[in-house]
Structure 1
Amino acid sequence: MGGAAQRFWSELRALRRAAPGPTLEQLVRRGELRSSSPAPSKSTISAWFNGTSVPSAQHLPHLLDMTAFLQRQAANTYVPRTEGQWQTLFRRARDEQDKAQTRGRPLKPRPTPARPDTLPAGAAGFVGRSAELRTILDWLEPTAPSNPDGGGHGDVALLTVAGMGGVGKTELALQAAHQANERGWFTGGALFADVGGYGREAEPTAAALALRFLLALGVKPKDLPAEPDQLLDLWHSHLNELRSREQPVLLVLDNVRTLATVAALVPRTPHRLLLTARHKPAALSGRFFSLAPMGDEEAVDLLASLLRVRDAQDDRVGHQREHARHIVALCGNLPLALRITAALLQEDETRPLGHYAEELRAERTRLDTLAYEDVDREGRPLAVRACFDLSYRYLPDDCKRALRLVAAAPGNGLSAEAAAVLLGQGSRRLLGTLARTHLLGVHSGSRWVMHDLIRLYGSERAEETAVSDGRDSSVDDLYDHYASSLRSANDNLVPGRGSTRFPTAREALAWLDEECDVLIASALSPAAGRRPTREHLGFLLNRYLDMRRRFEDVVVLATDALSRAEAEGSAACRAHALSSMGNALTAMRRHAEAAPLHEQAVSLYFEMNEEGAAAAALVNLGSALHSGEKYQDAYYARTLAVFYFQRTRQAHGRGSALVALAQTLLEIGRPAEGSRVNREGIRILEEVGDVVAAASAMVTEGDIRSRRKAGDSLPLYREAMERLGAAHAFHAQGVACTHLADELARRGSVSDAIDAYGTAARLFRDTGDLVAEDVVLRRISSLPADDV
């Protein structure tokens, strides 16, 4: 079945989910009573809802009556369709079915394909905002049934929902996005990102967001370019491909502060980008929707609904409506404040609303406009802070301290383990209390997160009690926990090594994936400033960030480390930071920028008479030059590295440098010398006992033989595999196996190549390198189909 029928069924199913009460028997009976024409049977109506049948023309009156009835029964968050819209949906689906039958093809419903959906769940107790929801949904719809050309907003892909903090922008955007998704509008996926622009100094770049969304849409990490401009080009190319397949995508960007950040992400229609911000996006074209505080009665209804989330019998608002109106007014009609208020009232179910209103009114003298840049129509500060203060006042002292410490912790997101380090004994109870009062949230069921504005509030409180709380000491303990865990995770990323903290590389990578943003924030936090630059977390993060191709983050961290090293006067840390930055730029193909940084690092090490470190920096310089195809310069740099490693009697470094030099010799047309140099490197590495490096260099020797067509490379690959397996270097063994498979495929031994690729895939999977596993599986799929 085509898209029109699929769309009709999706809309009908969404309505049924919103109005599950009436039974099929009731719907049949209703049709019998309200029309003289034959009413549809229970099985017929069931087929409509199940997506196996489109109503016939004679059943159209029954369909319209049924949808109107169900829309009246639906939850108040459901935005109803007009009769004309239902007629258009029906007509298109019916026409599609008739055409298919004319072609003699029995119609079968298409299975609904899995599509990316990273939308967080909507909040419990949401009511109201019906007019705003309708406005946003009217814009979101990629192809409105009232207009075959795409609706009144089909030419506009961007909508900004703007308003003050706490006004409910995020929840409104999510409610609209979920409704649109349930109705099947965005078959390409629905993606969400909290940009966090009001809680951090620097927002993610457009390229970083594009990287995140491309991964969510199924683009493989190996297919992602390093440079930001190329990432953005791929982003738009991928969206255009989905557009050509009629698979629109919905993007929701929350808490955007610097609107230029998202300008490069704006897609073409029929894709949609819905963003929330606290100010009007004058620099961006597109639709703008200003979200005001809720209406008085609507806000009262929200408070009543929130109180009934925990106890369906809580009807204090119904019995004390005037006091409820007073509370709503003092809260500035803001949903966030009302949610906190409801949580406080739920803690004491016998507390009269009037008592609470009086206390809330007294707290208005403590308002200021620091977190909220607006006033109400009478010039009074809006009351969100009063709610925060009251919520804070009724917390036990240990929970107050927990709030302050969580707000002072770097990043936004604490695992249970990290929270235990920060807060000590009883951390789960403390966090649970904060969550119940809506001062803290839970993300993905395992991470504690704090709203930006509450974090600002808690940080201010933390400043007042920093000494008595032992704030700096607690945050330092958390920093040490992150550093220790990061070192353990790094151990697992090196083939042949491991740690008790993370038994496998897969577990280490999972932890790094979860904690990476917090680790970066920690590296840039005041706690890092209380450590010597040599302990900078950025240095420890380099290996992981390289694996995940997050080179922009490496540059940010290296820039911070460089600044601190300069202030500290540490030439060694300056050189280390320059090398880190240069290596990242090399990976981003910004070779012209990378080479001067490596040259500076080389000079600094020579000034410190650290010839061994200078040799390592020369290897890095050689890599930048080699990647930039300046092979002659790379040759000189790598030759110098070999010289200084020999002069400082660092055999291991010399062996590694010789293997690198061999690669450059191959490129400048000296393969015979490259082979000799590579064999010398292997000999040295074997002498110093680096079995893994020596065996890996044998793979390079096999590559040289293959390029020169001088000798058989297969025995070298197989011997390397055997040695690496014996050394339990299973990841390196997977690399050797991949080269073996490549050579077999080149020779036409497809069956043997498939076996070798399969072995390599298993090795990469077992060692947690899913990217490399995907690479070899894709090579299998590229082989002749009959052989595969």
Structure 2
Amino acid sequence: MGGVGKTALAVETAHRARAQGWFPGGTLFVDLRGYDEDPVTADQAVLALLDALGVRDGDLPPTTDRQYDAYRALLADRQDRMLLILDNASDPAQYLPLLPGTDHHRVLITSRDRPDALPVRLIDLETLAPDDSVALLTRALHDTDERDERPAREPEAVRELADLCGHLPLALQIAAGMLRRRRHRDIASLVAEIREAEDATTVLDHNSPGTDLYGRSLVLRPVLETSYHRLPPDQARLLRLLCLAPGAETGTEAIGALADLAPESVVLLLEDLAARHLVTPVRRINGAPSAMRWRLHDLVRAFGAGVVAGDAGLREEGEAARERVLEFYWRWAKAADDRLRWLPGKPVPERFGDRGHALEWLDGERSGLIAAVGWGREERFAGTATRLAECLGEYLDWRRYFDDLIAVAKAALGAARLAGDRLNEANAWNSLGNALLVAGRPGEAIEAHSQARYRYQAAGGRHDEAVAWGNLGNALRAAGQVDDAIDAHARARDLYQAAGDRHREAMAWDNLGNALQEAGRTGEAIDAHTRARDLLQAAGDRHGEGRAWHNLGNALRAAGRLEATIEAYGKGLKICREFEDWYGAGQTLRNLAHTYKTIGRPADAHAAYLQAADAYTRANAPTEASRARAWAAELPQ
């Protein structure tokens, strides 16, 4: 892409190659200015090359054809190898006529466009690695003043500045120039300025220090504008809309929804944009082109969003596009969520044949889904964003993305309030309470679930009220308020029984059993978990049945019935593995190991602890994994 440092790399390479004697015949350099308003043509360039080779004035052939003949003859006759650098080409027509008619010499061409139709070796340049970006900024400051201690004093600010510059060498050089001029200010002040502007191009271009070593202007926006304005209308439209997409990476299907185009058409346009280094293909899923993902450089995204914001017609086009992609995300997130919650006898969700396919799609679109929920801050998108948030709770909890879970719940709460939707506001409080609880914040969870309960009661939704009572009971138990938790779960159970919802009643029994056990009422806990297990079996909720087996094992262990405990854990573990519930498997294996240790089977306990550590690792629970390994280390193998 523009500003990635193609010219600097080409010139540095040429200097090093010449220093090593690779090109005793010398080096020729022509700036073709391919992205200026008036690019250099091959006919103009050949005159400059002939002049550099000593052919000028009266020796210059009178016609263009003869000028090319003279140029090629001079190169063919030259015994010493030469290097020809054709810089900044936008069209093969600029350089094809300039290629030597012999392979004795070498040619290095720089361009923002990939000439895929030509048999030339292509070297794609990406932005710098983060550490290299920091090194560039640090060296740029030290080369001017070796006493400049700011990079050493503010390492985090240097790294953040490099991130804000998108690791693009041109942006980094401009930032370095600004810091040289502001030598009495700290680096953090520039970071804060860019963050406040929310567009690095605005700050950097406004404060650009001038030109680089090659006499070129150190400005970002014109570099991006020239690339954008050279695009055909369909590619320019897609780039603008892609700059509005949520998330750092976007799948082809979502881009198709954004642009209101079929995936096949979108892929062709995206490949054209990738050839111009304006988008980057990220990875394939199962090798299907329609399943590829695409990434924009941050500065390109900011530029494109600015183009849209500056034109009323483009703004409306962009809002409609965002509406389409939000509807797309909601439709398929709901289908994926339905698949995760599906029980035998219920309607089969569309698209996703099993849990694995649903999770794969959600994993791939996760960043976009979460960012799209954030659009609920805008009234136009509030309703759909709230519905989308409701579809993500089960998935984010399953994957243990607790920070995302809290962020989504808070965004949904704000969107529901903006939309004036009291029921969805209650749902959002409920989701927020669940998120806070799994994140280890039970006090806040109690408040959130209490807010949900008040709103459900006011709306007269007895079933929803039961949900809130059950979740409140879990939060109360986590906060050590066991008696209140028992009352809450009993209320939830009674409400579900009255509504005839046997599946939810089963979960209420299971939660009630946990609270009873914590209160020391072990016999009642065993009865509650047994009732839960039987109801979940009858409902066909295999995964819920596995949880009930695990909880029943805990109650049996508290009662001293250790053989029955091992049997219950074994059944629960089998179901966890069946569903790839690795956190549940880790919990069960940990408790199984505790049981083996109690009955004097240290080798079995050691093995179970290590298996628990592996399961926790797969579940993204490193703290629990470390604890399990420590327990294993205390036992003989």
Q: What's the TM-score bracket when you normalise by the shorter of the two chains?
A: 0.5 to 0.7
Residue 403, structure 1, aligned to residue 255, structure 2: no
Counterpart in the other structure of 1:480: 327
Aligned residues: 488
Counterpart in the other structure of 1:739: 591
Counterpart in the other structure of 1:702: 553
Residue 655, structure 1, aligned to residue 491, structure 2: no
Counterpart in the other structure of 1:459: 308
Residue 122, structure 1, aligned to residue 122, structure 2: no
* DSSP-derived class of the 2:295 partner: strand
CA-CA distance at 1:622 after TM superposition: 0.9
CA distance in structure 1 between the aligned counterparts of 2:342 and 2:606, rounded to whole angstroms: 24
Decide whether the 8 Å contact of 1:655 with 1:682 is kept in 2: yes
Decide whether the 8 Å contact of 2:201 with 2:303 is kept in 1: no
CA distance in structure 2 between the aligned counterparts of 1:630 and 1:298, rounded to whole angstroms: 70
Counterpart in the other structure of 1:420: 256
Residue deviations 1:324-375 (CA, integer Å, cap 9, x gap): xxxx4xxxx31x24644xxxxxxxxxxxxxxxxxxxxxxxxxxxxxxxxxxx
Change (3 A) 1:457 1:673: same
Decide whether the 8 Å contact of 2:550 with 2:569 is kept in 1: yes
CA distance in structure 1 between the aligned counterparts of 2:203 and 2:385, rounded to whole angstroms: 41
Counterpart in the other structure of 1:171: 169
CA-CA distance at 1:646 after TM superposition: 2.0
Counterpart in the other structure of 1:53: none
Residue 749, structure 1, aligned to residue 619, structure 2: no
CA-CA distance at 1:499 after TM superposition: 7.8
CA distance in structure 2 between the aligned counterparts of 1:716 and 1:745, rounded to whole angstroms: 17
Counterpart in the other structure of 2:448: 597
The residue type paired with residue 593 of structure 1 is E
* DSSP-derived class of the 1:414 partner: strand
CA-CA distance at 1:719 after TM superposition: 4.0
Change (3 A) 1:165 1:561: closer
* DSSP-derived class of the 1:296 partner: coil
Larger mean CA deviation between 432-441 and 164-173 belongs to 164-173
CA-CA distance at 1:618 after TM superposition: 0.5
Decide whether the 8 Å contact of 2:596 with 2:605 is kept in 1: yes
Residue 296, structure 1, aligned to residue 211, structure 2: yes
Counterpart in the other structure of 1:181: none
Change (3 A) 1:657 1:516: same
CA distance in structure 2 between the aligned counterparts of 1:508 and 1:625, rounded to whole angstroms: 33
* DSSP-derived class of the 1:602 partner: helix
Alignment of 1:719-734 (within 5 A): 719-721=571-573, 728-729=578-579, 731=581
Change (3 A) 1:137 1:495: farther
CA distance in structure 2 between the aligned counterparts of 1:152 and 1:397, rounded to whole angstroms: 46
Taking structure 2 as the reference length, the TM-score comes to: 0.62
Residue deviations 1:372-426 (CA, integer Å, cap 9, x gap): xxxxxxxxxxxxxxxx2x5444322212321332233334432333323333243
Residue deviations 1:116-156 (CA, integer Å, cap 9, x gap): xxxx7429xx99x98973425899xxxx9x9xxx9897555
Residue deviations 1:425-482 (CA, integer Å, cap 9, x gap): 4323433444555654556794231524313323226642466x5x555433322332
Alignment of 1:432-447 (within 5 A): 432-435=271-274, 439-440=278-279, 446-447=293-294
Give 2:433's match in structure 1, choosing from 561, 582, 597: 582
Alignment of 1:42-191 (within 5 A): 121-122=127-128, 133-135=139-141, 157-160=155-158, 170-171=168-169
CA distance in structure 1 between the aligned counterparts of 2:538 and 2:588, rounded to whole angstroms: 21
Change (3 A) 1:666 1:130: closer
Change (3 A) 1:757 1:293: same
Give 1:449's match in structure 2, choosing from 296, 307, 321: 296
Residue 517, structure 1, aligned to residue 356, structure 2: no
CA RMSD of aligned residues (A): 5.1
Counterpart in the other structure of 1:394: 230
Residue 783, structure 1, aligned to residue 632, structure 2: yes
Decide whether the 8 Å contact of 2:416 with 2:425 is kept in 1: yes
CA distance in structure 1 between the aligned counterparts of 2:621 and 2:429, rounded to whole angstroms: 29
Change (3 A) 1:661 1:457: same
CA distance in structure 1 between the aligned counterparts of 2:525 and 2:492, rounded to whole angstroms: 16
CA-CA distance at 1:621 after TM superposition: 0.6
Counterpart in the other structure of 1:681: 532
Change (3 A) 1:597 1:257: farther
Change (3 A) 1:156 1:436: same
* DSSP-derived class of the 1:298 partner: coil
Decide whether the 8 Å contact of 1:161 with 1:169 is kept in 2: no
CA distance in structure 1 between the aligned counterparts of 2:632 and 2:18, rounded to whole angstroms: 55
Change (3 A) 1:759 1:404: same
CA distance in structure 2 between the aligned counterparts of 1:577 and 1:422, rounded to whole angstroms: 27
Change (3 A) 1:462 1:485: farther
Counterpart in the other structure of 2:620: 771
Higher helix share: 2
Residue deviations 1:251-276 (CA, integer Å, cap 9, x gap): 9999766879xxxxxxxxxxxxxxx8
Residue deviations 1:192-239 (CA, integer Å, cap 9, x gap): xxxxxxxxxxxxxxxxxxxxxxxxxxxxxxxxxxxxxxxxxxxxxxxx
| Structure 1 residue ranges without an equivalent (≥5) | 1-14, 25-119, 178-250, 261-275, 281-289, 304-327, 341-387
Counterpart in the other structure of 2:83: none
Residue deviations 1:728-780 (CA, integer Å, cap 9, x gap): 44536675455334422444423334555676678889xxx443699568635
Taking structure 1 as the reference length, the TM-score comes to: 0.51
Change (3 A) 1:578 1:136: farther
The residue type paired with residue 552 of structure 2 is E
CA distance in structure 1 between the aligned counterparts of 2:580 and 2:167, rounded to whole angstroms: 50
* DSSP-derived class of the 2:243 partner: helix
Give 1:718's match in structure 2, choosing from 545, 561, 570: 570
Residue deviations 1:588-626 (CA, integer Å, cap 9, x gap): 333333222212222222233321221111011111111
CA-CA distance at 1:492 after TM superposition: 6.4
CA-CA distance at 1:545 after TM superposition: 2.9
Decide whether the 8 Å contact of 1:407 with 1:462 is kept in 2: no
* DSSP-derived class of the 1:293 partner: coil
Decide whether the 8 Å contact of 1:598 with 1:620 is kept in 2: yes
Give 1:562's match in structure 2, choosing from 410, 413, 423: 413
CA distance in structure 2 between the aligned counterparts of 1:484 and 1:253, rounded to whole angstroms: 44
Question: Which structure ranks higher in relative contact order (CA pairs < 8 Å, sequence separation ≥ 6)?
Answer: 1
CA distance in structure 2 between the aligned counterparts of 1:724 and 1:133, rounded to whole angstroms: 54
The residue type paired with residue 524 of structure 1 is G
Decide whether the 8 Å contact of 2:164 with 2:194 is kept in 1: no
Decide whether the 8 Å contact of 2:436 with 2:442 is kept in 1: yes
Larger mean CA deviation between 660-669 and 773-782 belongs to 773-782
Give 2:270's match in structure 1, choosing from 403, 427, 431: 431
| Structure 2 residue ranges without an equivalent (≥5) | 1-11, 22-125, 176-186, 285-292
Alignment of 1:209-224 (within 5 A): none
CA distance in structure 1 between the aligned counterparts of 2:537 and 2:163, rounded to whole angstroms: 63
The residue type paired with residue 371 of structure 2 is A
